Amino acid sequence: METLSIFCITWNVQTGWPEQGLHSLLGIPNDPVIKRTTDDLLPDIYIIGLQEVKSQPQNVVMDTLFEEPWTSALREAIGPHDYVRIVGERLQGIVTNIFIKRHHLHHVRDIHTTVTRTGFGGLWGNKGASSVRFSIYGCSVCVVNCHLAAHDIGYKERIENFNTIIDYTRFPIPETSNILFHDYVFWVGDLNFRLDSSLTSEIISKRVADGELDKLYEMDELHKAQKNGEAFSMLKEGAITFPPTYKYQEGSSAYDLSRRPAWTDRILHQVHVDAYENVKLGVKQASYSSVDSYTQSDHKPVFSNYFIKVFANHEDRCVRFQPVGTWYIGEGGNVKFTLDSDVVASPWDYIALYKSDFTSMHQYTTYMYIPQSGTTSQRNIQLVFNDELLQQPGMYRLAYYSGKYSSYLGLSDPFPVMVRPE
């Protein structure tokens, strides 16, 4: 088995734009001189769940034409450290993004997303979940980012929201159609659970100041729901050693005592240790905390760093590119690749062309569908990629996308695109 590190973040951004730099939140040095010396210490995967992203109709329309501002800001901070955004999903203000280190890209399989609405009896997406599932090195991972019902009186509704998400979130992979069927589950979000109603704002604030977090946690609604088996009982949460993350005065780290402070923002996990014969999966939670320095929202962001076990050197359904020679502007060039024996090609497969330093799978320059040979036995394929959209010289890569498997099965080494000499 090998170990992968996963860094999870949840933050209710209260409809604001990304005003503060995100490097501190991501644990990334914002210094170009030292950044490359620390890249090997950064996580293999970033899971980032945001809530209350601005979602008025005009914002949603703009996001279909241009990249959503928070996603763009995250990509600009993470991308230069050799990360690629493999997928994202949005349900109104609930935005989920997954970034992985580039060299893991062709080990990711079966990427699927879905949303589950719980607002107004399931008719509206102001509350609910945006979820992503994928497999990496043979292990299945499900990510749930949710925003549950608010207010002190909303405990029962929060329980109902959780059960709705569990019951109605479905993926088109039979073995992992349900959230809880996955080898690993990471559940992040503004869960909105409060502290027992007997505690006033002033009592909570004083206990925080006195460092009595353990006593407060014993009166936490999520803790109660887990103990009673009402919700989240199959998921685990690390020890809470940070102050309640809500509600703060905007622009400061002082509580707004018009609302009772609470740990609304949480990260939980599940692992099926004995999912496979003769091996044991595992998860280690190395950190779980909040970031006090972010003051643009009335919530503090929360992060957790995990280490998970996956199969060493696992490969399946691979496409292997032969070295690509020099291409020329406006002409393209030759492409040769081999399909492994377990790859079944489909009419929806295509090869996409990317700049070699691309930071999102949506950043392709152009693409070409794979010509259908009429036989499924053809393993070695050669074609000419000719596209007039290729107008900028530089270093590029090719990626093979499988519509059947919803994943990128192969990535070429970088190759040059040049202006043809006259």
CA separation (Å) from 349 to 229, 356, 408?
Answer: 45, 21, 10
The pLDDT of residue 342 is: 93
Burial 401-422 (b: 16+ CB within 10 A, else e): bbeebbbbbbbbeebebeeeee
Task: List the one residue out of 26, 30, 18 whose CA is nearest residue 47.
Answer: 26
Task: Give the type of residue at 240.
Answer: I
3-state helix, strand and coil shares in percent for the chain, rounded to the nearest 5: 20, 35, 45
Average of pLDDT values for 300-325?
Answer: 95
140, 159: one domain: yes
- Give the amino acid at 52: E
Q: Is the pLDDT of residue 301 over 50?
A: yes
pLDDT at residue 332 in the model = 86
Identify the pLDDT of residue 68: 94
Q: What confidence tier does 57 reach under pLDDT thresholds 50, 70, 90?
A: low
Looking at the fold, whether 297 and 326 belong to one and the same domain comes out as no
Q: State how far the Cα of 285 lies from the Cα of 304, in Å rounded to an integer.
A: 7
pLDDT of residue 36: 59
Same domain, 246 and 143: yes
Are 240 and 336 within one domain? Answer: no
Show the tokens assigned to 137: 């090195």
Contacts of 210 (CB under 8 A, 6+ apart): none
- 385, 372 Cβ separation under 8 angstroms: no
Domain of 158 in residue numbering reads as 2-310
pLDDT digits (tens, 9 = 90+) for 385-398: 987 778 899 999 99
| CA separation for the pair 407, 161 (Å, rounded) | 30
Query: Residue range 361-383: average pLDDT?
Result: 83
Total domains, the chain: 2
Question: Over 60: is that where the pLDDT of 64 sits?
Answer: no
Q: Same domain, yes or no, for 147 and 285? A: yes
User: 329 and 260 in one domain?
Assistant: no
Q: Under the phi-then-psi rule, with left for phi > 0, alpha for psi from -120 to 50, and beta for the rest, what region is 189?
A: left
Query: Which contiguous run of DSSP H or E holds residue 168?
Result: helix 155-168
Confidence of residue 65 (pLDDT cuts 50, 70, 90): low
- State yes or no: pLDDT of 62 exceeds 70: no
pLDDT at 63 over 50: no
- The per-residue pLDDT for 390 is 85
* pLDDT tens, residue by residue, 168-213: 999 999 999 999 999 999 999 999 999 999 999 999 999 999 999 9
208 and 338 together in one domain: no
Tens digits of residue pLDDT in 107-138: 999 999 999 999 766 666 689 999 999 999 99
122 and 216, same domain (yes or no)? yes
Q: What percent of the chain has pLDDT over 90?
A: 86
Q: Does the pLDDT of residue 61 top 60, yes or no?
A: no
Tokens (6 digits) for 98: 């997954």
CA angle 209, 213, 214 (to 5 degrees): 150
| Polymer length in residues for the chain | 422
* Eight-class DSSP state of 236: B
Q: What pLDDT, on a 0 to 100 scale, did the predictor assign at position 331? A: 86
Backbone angles phi, psi at 159, to 5 degrees: -60, -45
- Round to whole Å and give the CA distance between 111 and 97: 12
Report the CATH number that the domain containing residue 15 is assigned in CATH: 3.60.10.10
